[in-house]
Structure 1
Amino acid sequence: MGQRFNDDRRQEILKKINNYINDNNFPPSIREISKMMNVVSSSTAATYVNRLIKDGYLKKQGNRSRALEITPKGLEMIGESSVDNNLIPVIGTVAAGQPITAEEDIEGYFPLPEDISYPSDELFMLKIQGNSMIGIGINDGDEIIVHRQNSANNGQIVVAMTEDNEATVKRFYQEDDHIRLHPENESMEDLIYPTVTILGVVISLYRPVLF
Protein backbone atom coordinates (compact mmCIF):
# COMPACT_ATOMS: atom_id res chain seq x y z
CA MET A 1 0.00 0.00 0.00
CA GLY A 2 2.87 2.37 0.97
CA GLN A 3 2.82 5.91 -0.40
CA ARG A 4 -0.40 5.37 -2.34
CA PHE A 5 -2.47 5.41 0.84
CA ASN A 6 -2.60 9.18 1.27
CA ASP A 7 -5.43 11.48 2.26
CA ASP A 8 -6.89 11.44 -1.25
CA ARG A 9 -7.10 7.65 -1.14
CA ARG A 10 -8.62 7.74 2.34
CA GLN A 11 -11.26 10.22 1.21
CA GLU A 12 -12.06 8.17 -1.88
CA ILE A 13 -12.65 4.99 0.15
CA LEU A 14 -14.59 6.74 2.90
CA LYS A 15 -16.84 8.55 0.42
CA LYS A 16 -17.67 5.32 -1.37
CA ILE A 17 -18.44 3.58 1.92
CA ASN A 18 -20.54 6.54 3.06
CA ASN A 19 -22.48 6.62 -0.22
CA TYR A 20 -23.13 2.89 0.04
CA ILE A 21 -24.46 3.26 3.60
CA ASN A 22 -26.70 6.17 2.58
CA ASP A 23 -28.09 4.18 -0.37
CA ASN A 24 -28.60 0.86 1.44
CA ASN A 25 -28.93 1.71 5.16
CA PHE A 26 -26.21 -0.82 5.98
CA PRO A 27 -22.45 -0.90 5.36
CA PRO A 28 -20.73 -2.72 2.51
CA SER A 29 -18.86 -6.00 2.88
CA ILE A 30 -15.13 -6.23 2.18
CA ARG A 31 -15.89 -7.88 -1.16
CA GLU A 32 -18.16 -4.99 -2.13
CA ILE A 33 -15.52 -2.48 -1.05
CA SER A 34 -12.97 -4.22 -3.28
CA LYS A 35 -15.39 -3.85 -6.23
CA MET A 36 -16.01 -0.19 -5.41
CA MET A 37 -12.26 0.45 -5.29
CA ASN A 38 -11.58 -1.57 -8.47
CA VAL A 39 -9.04 -3.78 -6.75
CA VAL A 40 -8.77 -7.45 -7.67
CA SER A 41 -8.02 -8.85 -4.22
CA SER A 42 -10.39 -8.65 -1.26
CA SER A 43 -7.32 -8.83 0.95
CA THR A 44 -6.17 -5.48 -0.48
CA ALA A 45 -9.52 -3.91 0.39
CA ALA A 46 -9.29 -5.47 3.86
CA THR A 47 -5.85 -3.89 4.28
CA TYR A 48 -7.27 -0.47 3.37
CA VAL A 49 -10.16 -0.94 5.81
CA ASN A 50 -7.89 -2.10 8.64
CA ARG A 51 -5.67 0.92 8.12
CA LEU A 52 -8.69 3.24 8.27
CA ILE A 53 -9.82 1.52 11.47
CA LYS A 54 -6.33 1.87 12.98
CA ASP A 55 -6.21 5.56 12.04
CA GLY A 56 -9.64 6.19 13.59
CA TYR A 57 -11.64 6.85 10.42
CA LEU A 58 -13.70 3.65 10.59
CA LYS A 59 -14.94 1.48 13.42
CA LYS A 60 -15.89 -2.18 13.28
CA GLN A 61 -18.49 -3.74 15.59
CA GLY A 62 -17.95 -7.47 16.15
CA ASN A 63 -16.90 -9.98 13.52
CA ARG A 64 -19.81 -9.64 11.11
CA SER A 65 -19.12 -9.04 7.44
CA ARG A 66 -21.19 -5.84 7.54
CA ALA A 67 -20.09 -4.13 10.73
CA LEU A 68 -18.32 -0.96 9.58
CA GLU A 69 -19.20 2.49 10.87
CA ILE A 70 -17.69 5.80 9.83
CA THR A 71 -16.43 7.66 12.89
CA PRO A 72 -16.82 11.42 13.45
CA LYS A 73 -13.17 11.74 12.36
CA GLY A 74 -14.00 9.88 9.15
CA LEU A 75 -17.04 12.06 8.48
CA GLU A 76 -14.90 15.15 8.98
CA MET A 77 -12.36 13.75 6.50
CA ILE A 78 -15.01 13.62 3.76
CA GLY A 79 -16.67 16.90 4.70
CA GLU A 80 -19.75 15.40 6.32
CA SER A 81 -21.06 16.94 9.53
CA SER A 82 -21.42 14.59 12.46
CA VAL A 83 -24.70 16.35 13.25
CA ASP A 84 -26.11 15.77 9.77
CA ASN A 85 -29.91 15.70 9.82
CA ASN A 86 -29.82 12.25 8.24
CA LEU A 87 -27.51 10.62 10.80
CA ILE A 88 -28.41 9.08 14.15
CA PRO A 89 -25.64 8.95 16.78
CA VAL A 90 -24.71 5.44 17.94
CA ILE A 91 -24.04 5.38 21.69
CA GLY A 92 -22.52 2.02 22.50
CA THR A 93 -24.21 -0.87 24.26
CA VAL A 94 -27.12 -1.16 26.67
CA ALA A 95 -28.19 -4.25 28.56
CA ALA A 96 -31.43 -6.07 27.91
CA GLY A 97 -30.56 -8.56 30.62
CA GLN A 98 -28.57 -7.39 33.59
CA PRO A 99 -28.20 -3.59 33.56
CA ILE A 100 -24.80 -2.16 32.67
CA THR A 101 -23.32 1.29 33.02
CA ALA A 102 -24.24 3.55 30.10
CA GLU A 103 -21.59 5.94 28.82
CA GLU A 104 -22.77 8.50 26.28
CA ASP A 105 -19.72 8.36 24.03
CA ILE A 106 -20.71 8.52 20.38
CA GLU A 107 -19.20 5.58 18.56
CA GLY A 108 -20.50 6.31 15.08
CA TYR A 109 -23.55 7.30 13.07
CA PHE A 110 -26.41 5.45 11.39
CA PRO A 111 -28.48 6.74 8.44
CA LEU A 112 -31.94 7.95 9.44
CA PRO A 113 -34.53 5.50 7.99
CA GLU A 114 -37.03 7.16 5.66
CA ASP A 115 -40.04 5.83 7.58
CA ILE A 116 -39.04 7.54 10.86
CA SER A 117 -40.62 10.98 11.19
CA TYR A 118 -38.54 12.24 14.12
CA PRO A 119 -35.51 14.46 13.37
CA SER A 120 -32.18 12.77 13.98
CA ASP A 121 -31.21 15.15 16.78
CA GLU A 122 -34.06 13.69 18.85
CA LEU A 123 -32.81 10.12 18.37
CA PHE A 124 -29.98 7.87 19.42
CA MET A 125 -29.08 4.26 18.74
CA LEU A 126 -27.92 1.53 21.11
CA LYS A 127 -26.76 -2.04 20.75
CA ILE A 128 -28.63 -4.61 22.85
CA GLN A 129 -26.74 -6.93 25.17
CA GLY A 130 -28.69 -9.79 26.70
CA ASN A 131 -31.89 -11.75 26.15
CA SER A 132 -34.45 -10.20 28.46
CA MET A 133 -36.53 -8.79 25.56
CA ILE A 134 -36.52 -11.79 23.24
CA GLY A 135 -40.25 -12.33 23.79
CA ILE A 136 -40.97 -9.34 21.55
CA GLY A 137 -38.16 -10.04 19.10
CA ILE A 138 -35.40 -7.83 20.52
CA ASN A 139 -32.39 -10.15 20.52
CA ASP A 140 -28.85 -9.98 21.81
CA GLY A 141 -26.79 -7.97 19.30
CA ASP A 142 -29.75 -6.10 17.80
CA GLU A 143 -29.60 -2.32 17.58
CA ILE A 144 -32.49 -0.13 18.68
CA ILE A 145 -33.43 3.41 17.68
CA VAL A 146 -34.61 5.46 20.65
CA HIS A 147 -36.54 8.72 20.81
CA ARG A 148 -35.09 10.97 23.49
CA GLN A 149 -37.72 11.81 26.11
CA ASN A 150 -37.92 11.86 29.89
CA SER A 151 -41.37 10.32 30.29
CA ALA A 152 -43.21 7.26 29.04
CA ASN A 153 -46.66 5.70 29.08
CA ASN A 154 -47.30 2.39 30.79
CA GLY A 155 -46.47 -0.48 28.47
CA GLN A 156 -43.92 1.35 26.34
CA ILE A 157 -40.42 -0.07 25.79
CA VAL A 158 -37.93 2.32 27.35
CA VAL A 159 -34.27 2.86 27.99
CA ALA A 160 -34.20 3.60 31.71
CA MET A 161 -31.39 4.71 34.01
CA THR A 162 -31.57 3.25 37.52
CA GLU A 163 -30.47 4.84 40.79
CA ASP A 164 -27.11 3.10 40.31
CA ASN A 165 -26.57 4.95 37.01
CA GLU A 166 -27.05 1.78 35.02
CA ALA A 167 -29.11 1.68 31.83
CA THR A 168 -31.43 -1.09 30.76
CA VAL A 169 -34.14 -1.75 28.16
CA LYS A 170 -37.47 -2.94 29.57
CA ARG A 171 -41.23 -2.43 29.34
CA PHE A 172 -42.19 0.46 31.64
CA TYR A 173 -44.96 0.56 34.26
CA GLN A 174 -45.63 3.26 36.86
CA GLU A 175 -47.42 1.57 39.77
CA ASP A 176 -48.41 3.32 43.00
CA ASP A 177 -45.15 4.10 44.81
CA HIS A 178 -42.70 2.33 42.51
CA ILE A 179 -41.59 1.71 38.94
CA ARG A 180 -41.83 -1.79 37.49
CA LEU A 181 -39.53 -2.66 34.60
CA HIS A 182 -40.81 -5.77 32.88
CA PRO A 183 -38.53 -8.09 30.87
CA GLU A 184 -40.13 -9.86 27.91
CA ASN A 185 -38.61 -13.19 28.89
CA GLU A 186 -40.60 -15.73 30.91
CA SER A 187 -37.50 -16.90 32.76
CA MET A 188 -36.80 -13.43 34.22
CA GLU A 189 -38.52 -11.49 36.99
CA ASP A 190 -39.67 -7.87 36.99
CA LEU A 191 -37.31 -5.21 38.32
CA ILE A 192 -38.77 -2.90 40.97
CA TYR A 193 -37.35 0.57 41.68
CA PRO A 194 -38.63 3.53 43.70
CA THR A 195 -37.72 5.71 40.74
CA VAL A 196 -35.86 5.60 37.44
CA THR A 197 -34.81 8.17 34.85
CA ILE A 198 -36.31 7.66 31.41
CA LEU A 199 -33.71 8.27 28.70
CA GLY A 200 -36.04 7.52 25.81
CA VAL A 201 -38.65 5.29 24.22
CA VAL A 202 -37.71 2.59 21.73
CA ILE A 203 -39.28 3.30 18.34
CA SER A 204 -37.47 0.99 15.93
CA LEU A 205 -35.21 -2.04 15.65
CA TYR A 206 -32.29 -2.71 13.33
CA ARG A 207 -30.85 -6.19 12.95
CA PRO A 208 -27.40 -6.20 11.35
CA VAL A 209 -27.04 -8.44 8.31
CA LEU A 210 -25.46 -11.73 9.32
CA PHE A 211 -23.90 -12.62 5.96
Structure 2
Amino acid sequence: MRSSSEVVDYLDNLRKKQQVSISELARRVSMSKSTVSLYFKKEREFPVNRLDDFAMALHTTPEDVLGVIDNSNVKNPSNVIYPLSDSLQRVKIPIIGEIACGDPITAEENIEGYTEETFEKPIPSGTLFALRCKGHSMEPTIHDGSLVTIREQPTVEDGEIAAVLVDGDNEATLKRVKHQGDLIMLMPDNKEYDPIILDKNNPGRIVGKAVHVSWNIK
Protein backbone atom coordinates (compact mmCIF):
# COMPACT_ATOMS: atom_id res chain seq x y z
CA MET A 1 0.00 0.00 0.00
CA ARG A 2 1.23 3.49 -0.85
CA SER A 3 2.44 5.94 1.76
CA SER A 4 0.83 9.38 2.10
CA SER A 5 3.59 10.92 -0.03
CA GLU A 6 3.16 8.24 -2.70
CA VAL A 7 -0.61 8.78 -2.71
CA VAL A 8 -0.06 12.48 -3.48
CA ASP A 9 2.40 11.60 -6.26
CA TYR A 10 -0.06 9.10 -7.73
CA LEU A 11 -2.93 11.62 -7.70
CA ASP A 12 -0.70 14.27 -9.25
CA ASN A 13 0.33 11.90 -12.04
CA LEU A 14 -3.31 10.99 -12.69
CA ARG A 15 -4.20 14.67 -12.83
CA LYS A 16 -1.50 15.39 -15.36
CA LYS A 17 -2.34 12.35 -17.53
CA GLN A 18 -5.98 13.44 -17.63
CA GLN A 19 -4.94 17.06 -18.28
CA VAL A 20 -6.86 18.29 -15.24
CA SER A 21 -5.62 21.61 -13.92
CA ILE A 22 -5.23 22.35 -10.22
CA SER A 23 -8.11 24.82 -10.53
CA GLU A 24 -10.39 22.23 -12.11
CA LEU A 25 -9.49 19.56 -9.57
CA ALA A 26 -10.12 22.03 -6.74
CA ARG A 27 -13.55 22.76 -8.20
CA ARG A 28 -14.38 19.05 -8.43
CA VAL A 29 -13.48 18.40 -4.78
CA SER A 30 -15.01 21.68 -3.52
CA MET A 31 -11.73 23.09 -2.18
CA SER A 32 -9.75 26.22 -2.88
CA LYS A 33 -7.05 26.14 -5.56
CA SER A 34 -4.42 27.27 -3.06
CA THR A 35 -5.26 24.43 -0.64
CA VAL A 36 -5.07 21.72 -3.30
CA SER A 37 -1.83 23.22 -4.59
CA LEU A 38 -0.30 22.94 -1.11
CA TYR A 39 -1.19 19.24 -1.01
CA PHE A 40 0.59 18.54 -4.28
CA LYS A 41 3.60 20.61 -3.25
CA LYS A 42 3.58 18.53 -0.03
CA GLU A 43 3.54 21.69 2.02
CA ARG A 44 0.37 20.57 3.76
CA GLU A 45 -0.63 17.07 4.93
CA PHE A 46 -3.03 15.38 2.52
CA PRO A 47 -6.47 14.90 4.16
CA VAL A 48 -7.05 11.14 4.16
CA ASN A 49 -10.74 11.67 4.93
CA ARG A 50 -11.08 13.32 1.49
CA LEU A 51 -9.49 10.45 -0.44
CA ASP A 52 -12.85 9.37 -1.90
CA ASP A 53 -13.42 12.86 -3.29
CA PHE A 54 -10.05 13.05 -5.03
CA ALA A 55 -10.36 9.50 -6.39
CA MET A 56 -13.81 10.15 -7.84
CA ALA A 57 -12.69 13.50 -9.25
CA LEU A 58 -9.99 11.68 -11.21
CA HIS A 59 -12.29 8.82 -12.28
CA THR A 60 -10.66 6.09 -10.21
CA THR A 61 -11.18 4.33 -6.88
CA PRO A 62 -9.62 4.80 -3.44
CA GLU A 63 -8.28 1.24 -3.71
CA ASP A 64 -6.43 2.16 -6.89
CA VAL A 65 -4.97 5.30 -5.31
CA LEU A 66 -3.91 3.41 -2.19
CA GLY A 67 -2.55 0.48 -4.19
CA VAL A 68 -4.72 -2.11 -2.45
CA ILE A 69 -6.94 -4.87 -3.87
CA ASP A 70 -10.44 -3.80 -4.87
CA ASN A 71 -12.94 -5.97 -2.98
CA SER A 72 -16.01 -4.23 -4.41
CA ASN A 73 -17.30 -7.37 -6.16
CA VAL A 74 -17.06 -9.58 -3.10
CA LYS A 75 -20.46 -10.18 -1.47
CA ASN A 76 -20.37 -9.51 2.27
CA PRO A 77 -22.91 -8.49 4.89
CA SER A 78 -23.44 -4.80 5.58
CA ASN A 79 -20.99 -2.68 7.58
CA VAL A 80 -18.06 -5.04 6.91
CA ILE A 81 -14.78 -3.27 7.80
CA TYR A 82 -11.67 -3.58 5.63
CA PRO A 83 -8.49 -2.35 7.37
CA LEU A 84 -6.48 -0.11 5.01
CA SER A 85 -3.85 1.57 7.15
CA ASP A 86 -3.18 2.86 10.63
CA SER A 87 -5.47 5.83 10.00
CA LEU A 88 -8.03 4.54 7.44
CA GLN A 89 -10.75 1.92 7.40
CA ARG A 90 -13.01 0.97 4.50
CA VAL A 91 -16.57 0.00 5.37
CA LYS A 92 -19.18 -1.77 3.26
CA ILE A 93 -22.54 -0.04 3.75
CA PRO A 94 -26.03 -0.88 2.40
CA ILE A 95 -27.63 1.66 0.07
CA ILE A 96 -31.26 2.13 1.02
CA GLY A 97 -33.80 2.55 -1.74
CA GLU A 98 -37.38 2.91 -0.60
CA ILE A 99 -38.01 2.85 3.14
CA ALA A 100 -41.13 0.85 3.91
CA CYS A 101 -43.36 1.90 6.80
CA GLY A 102 -42.62 -0.04 9.98
CA ASP A 103 -39.70 -1.98 8.54
CA PRO A 104 -36.21 -1.78 10.02
CA ILE A 105 -34.17 0.67 7.93
CA THR A 106 -31.71 -1.99 6.79
CA ALA A 107 -34.32 -4.70 6.11
CA GLU A 108 -33.32 -6.70 3.02
CA GLU A 109 -36.29 -5.46 0.99
CA ASN A 110 -35.13 -1.87 1.47
CA ILE A 111 -31.56 -2.45 0.22
CA GLU A 112 -30.81 -1.69 -3.42
CA GLY A 113 -27.07 -2.35 -3.27
CA TYR A 114 -23.89 -1.63 -1.35
CA THR A 115 -21.19 1.01 -1.32
CA GLU A 116 -17.72 0.98 0.22
CA GLU A 117 -16.68 4.18 1.98
CA THR A 118 -13.34 5.16 3.48
CA PHE A 119 -13.35 6.63 6.99
CA GLU A 120 -10.61 8.09 9.08
CA LYS A 121 -10.41 6.06 12.29
CA PRO A 122 -12.36 5.71 14.43
CA ILE A 123 -15.29 4.91 12.16
CA PRO A 124 -18.76 6.10 13.28
CA SER A 125 -20.33 3.66 15.72
CA GLY A 126 -23.78 2.12 15.33
CA THR A 127 -25.76 1.05 12.27
CA LEU A 128 -24.73 2.78 9.05
CA PHE A 129 -26.67 3.02 5.80
CA ALA A 130 -26.45 5.21 2.71
CA LEU A 131 -29.02 7.31 0.87
CA ARG A 132 -28.63 8.85 -2.58
CA CYS A 133 -29.33 12.58 -2.51
CA LYS A 134 -31.96 13.75 -5.00
CA GLY A 135 -32.32 17.41 -5.88
CA HIS A 136 -30.39 20.58 -5.14
CA SER A 137 -31.76 21.78 -1.79
CA MET A 138 -28.56 20.93 0.13
CA GLU A 139 -26.08 22.42 -2.34
CA PRO A 140 -23.30 23.39 -2.12
CA THR A 141 -22.82 21.04 0.87
CA ILE A 142 -24.36 17.96 -0.72
CA HIS A 143 -24.77 17.71 -4.49
CA ASP A 144 -27.50 16.00 -6.46
CA GLY A 145 -26.68 12.29 -6.83
CA SER A 146 -24.22 12.14 -3.94
CA LEU A 147 -24.20 9.15 -1.63
CA VAL A 148 -24.67 10.21 1.99
CA THR A 149 -23.78 7.80 4.79
CA ILE A 150 -26.22 7.97 7.70
CA ARG A 151 -25.70 6.73 11.25
CA GLU A 152 -29.03 5.49 12.54
CA GLN A 153 -30.15 7.56 15.55
CA PRO A 154 -33.47 9.16 16.57
CA THR A 155 -32.19 12.65 17.41
CA VAL A 156 -29.54 15.13 16.22
CA GLU A 157 -28.23 18.46 17.47
CA ASP A 158 -29.32 21.78 15.96
CA GLY A 159 -27.36 22.52 12.81
CA GLU A 160 -26.57 18.87 12.02
CA ILE A 161 -27.75 17.26 8.79
CA ALA A 162 -30.24 14.45 9.28
CA ALA A 163 -32.19 11.94 7.24
CA VAL A 164 -35.81 12.58 8.13
CA LEU A 165 -38.86 10.54 7.16
CA VAL A 166 -41.81 12.67 6.09
CA ASP A 167 -45.08 12.13 4.23
CA GLY A 168 -46.27 9.29 6.45
CA ASP A 169 -42.83 7.68 6.61
CA ASN A 170 -42.86 7.20 2.84
CA GLU A 171 -40.19 9.73 1.84
CA ALA A 172 -36.73 10.45 3.24
CA THR A 173 -35.27 13.94 3.01
CA LEU A 174 -31.84 15.31 3.97
CA LYS A 175 -31.92 18.65 5.76
CA ARG A 176 -30.30 20.56 8.62
CA VAL A 177 -32.35 20.31 11.78
CA LYS A 178 -33.40 23.28 13.88
CA HIS A 179 -35.62 22.92 16.94
CA GLN A 180 -38.00 25.80 17.51
CA GLY A 181 -40.19 25.21 20.55
CA ASP A 182 -42.53 22.33 19.71
CA LEU A 183 -41.61 22.56 16.03
CA ILE A 184 -38.78 21.02 14.07
CA MET A 185 -37.58 23.03 11.09
CA LEU A 186 -35.80 21.18 8.29
CA MET A 187 -33.49 23.77 6.78
CA PRO A 188 -32.02 23.57 3.25
CA ASP A 189 -28.49 24.86 2.62
CA ASN A 190 -29.62 26.22 -0.75
CA LYS A 191 -31.34 29.53 -0.02
CA GLU A 192 -33.56 29.12 -3.09
CA TYR A 193 -35.50 26.40 -1.24
CA ASP A 194 -37.96 26.81 1.62
CA PRO A 195 -37.71 25.09 5.02
CA ILE A 196 -40.00 22.18 5.89
CA ILE A 197 -41.81 22.57 9.19
CA LEU A 198 -42.69 19.46 11.18
CA ASP A 199 -45.54 19.69 13.67
CA LYS A 200 -48.57 17.67 14.74
CA ASN A 201 -50.27 18.41 11.42
CA ASN A 202 -47.17 17.57 9.37
CA PRO A 203 -45.30 14.93 11.38
CA GLY A 204 -41.95 13.41 10.62
CA ARG A 205 -39.20 11.52 12.38
CA ILE A 206 -35.42 11.63 12.36
CA VAL A 207 -33.86 8.32 11.37
CA GLY A 208 -30.20 9.25 11.42
CA LYS A 209 -27.35 11.74 11.21
CA ALA A 210 -25.28 12.37 8.06
CA VAL A 211 -21.67 11.36 8.80
CA HIS A 212 -20.07 11.08 5.33
CA VAL A 213 -20.62 12.29 1.78
CA SER A 214 -19.30 10.73 -1.43
CA TRP A 215 -19.46 13.35 -4.15
CA ASN A 216 -21.04 12.46 -7.47
CA ILE A 217 -18.59 13.68 -10.16
CA LYS A 218 -20.24 13.91 -13.59
Query: 2:168 touches 2:204 (CA, 8 Å); kept in 1?
Result: no
Say if 1:174 and 1:142 are closer, same or farther in 2 by CA, change over 3 A: same
Letter in 2 for 1:141: G
Q: Deviations over 1:61-115 (max 9, x none)?
A: xxxxxxxx75xxx61xxxx4455333111113xxxxxxxx634511222224131
3-state DSSP class of the match of 2:111?
coil
Q: Give the aligned partner of residue 13 of structure 2.
A: none
Q: 1:153 to 1:81 in 2, by over 3 A?
A: closer
Counterpart mapping for 1:141-160 below 5 A:
141-160=145-164
Q: Matches of residues 128-147 of structure 1 in structure 2 within 5 Å?
A: 128-135=133-140, 137-147=141-151
Q: Which runs of 4+ in 1 moved over 2 A?
A: 20-25, 80-86, 101-104, 116-121
Q: Which residue of 1 is the match for residue 190 of structure 2? A: 185
Shift of 1:161: 1.0
Look up the SS of the partner of 2:133 in the other structure: strand
Amino acid at match of 2:99: A
Q: Which amino acid aligns with 1:23?
A: E
Q: Any gaps of 5 or more consecutive residues in structure 2?
A: 1-59, 82-90
Is residue 113 of structure 1 aligned with residue 121 of structure 2? no
- Structure 1, unpaired ranges of 5+: 1-19, 26-35, 37-68, 93-100
Instruction: Map 1:1-211 onto structure 2 (within 5 A).
Output: 23-24=63-64, 70=73, 75=75, 80-82=76-78, 84-85=80-81, 86-92=91-97, 102-103=99-100, 104=105, 105-115=110-120, 117-118=122-123, 122-135=127-140, 137-162=141-166, 164-165=168-169, 166-194=171-199, 195-210=203-218
Amino acid aligned to 2:190: N
- Per-residue CA deviations over 1:153-200 (Å, capped at 9, x if unaligned) read 111100011252121000101111211001111111111111421111
Structure 2 counterpart of 1:102, one-letter code: I
Using the size of structure 1 for normalisation, the TM-score is 0.54
Deviation at 1:116, TM superposition (A): 5.2
In 2: Cα distance, 1:87 partner to 1:121 partner: 13
**Scaled by the length of structure 2, what TM-score is found?**
0.53
Q: Which amino acid aligns with 1:159?
A: A
> Sequence identity, in percent?
27
